[in-house]
Structure 1
Amino acid sequence: REHEWFKEELPSYLFPEDPSYDATVIDDDAVREVCEKFECTESEVLNSLYSGDPQEQLAVAYHLVIDNRRIMNQASEFYLASSPPTGSFMDDSALHIPLGVKPHPERMPPLVADSPKARCPLDALNTTKPKPLTVKKAKWHLGIRSQSKPYDIMAEVYRAMKQLDFEWKVVNAYHLRVRRKNPVTGNYVKMSLQLYQVDNRSYLLDFKSIDGE
């Protein structure tokens, strides 16, 4: 991980310089959650946190847990404080998009029932003509779709990359650049992995080859 490939174009937020940040204050619940997800010991998580390496998967997972909890708490406090009146309309998609997760470019709109106003008025008078059935065109996406929490999805990504001997660079919490050396040719296969939100309950882990870059 000392290779220069991992040190190029890393965002500054991965190296916080805030003097108020105290790495010695450890959230025990977050540590235990990481241990449960990665089947590791608390000492391994602590060693990863104290190493100072922002690419350490256990440290990344720990901060994802902390950030996810903070985001959920802030969202909860905001909507409780707002106290919208009963019956008001509100786009609840904002409650489901964690920081850093982009909506998918082909995000599927919610299903809308066929409106009577959209039909031709003469159709109601024609009792012999069969009414055509409206078939919603399916959308296809390349990647892995899941209804798990974003943190859980990324935890599985790190676990799989470690088992398959992939190397990775963190672009942000939900976007990675990964590579693996072909043992036969010696060439590297490079990919971009990014988590998108497809709808209010689903996320898509998108794969993109970056061999040409």
Structure 2
Amino acid sequence: MGAVADPAPDANVALLRRARGWSHPKLARRANVSHALLSKVEIGDRPLTPAVAAALGKALGVTMADVLVPASVAADDEQLLDVLRSAIRAFDLPDHQAVPGEQVSAGIEAADRHRRAVDVTALMPILAPLLRDATTHAHTANTAGAWSALADVHSTVYWLAARHRWTDIVELAIIHQRWAAEQQPGPLAIAIAVAVAVAVADSLRSKAARQLE
């Protein structure tokens, strides 16, 4: 997957701050975050969460997306990204033709293999079709295993989107992963729902902060 060189979020915070001639304490005070946290974010010792990015963006007079710097993709990959966005928005629209569970399982194994290898080039083309297959299978089979498989695919979508700072896809992946896990409650589904609860809350807080900008 081709990518355009962009500053990482931590480096971008420092660039935005220095462009305004502000010190660490001044930005921290205006954003209502601790000086220590801001310093750690800028040097990469702490991840820049959406909530902190929204607070910094408001203080700097820019959007959260401007702070996070969504990673650019090469022109050839824009279509794949659009297809993924379309697939994740169709979480309640299964295809008419049933999809065998074995096909979904094989797709998940391939996606997990590419994810472990951090092989984004191989993962990106198969992720949207896999998401559609898993969605259709979950709706037609309506078993705990099928819904857990769909939640697993959304987890991989989240991993890819978070890696590239595609915040719109991140938010949908978090919400839909929890939704899928709650369709057929079971021990694994409950564990998934609990694991993403904090991320859901953080995403919603960030959205509210952006609306106030």
Normalising by structure 2, report the TM-score.
0.24
> Bigger radius of gyration, 1 or 2?
1
Normalising by structure 1, report the TM-score.
0.24
Structure (1/2) with the larger helix percentage: 2
Structure (1/2) with the larger strand percentage: 1
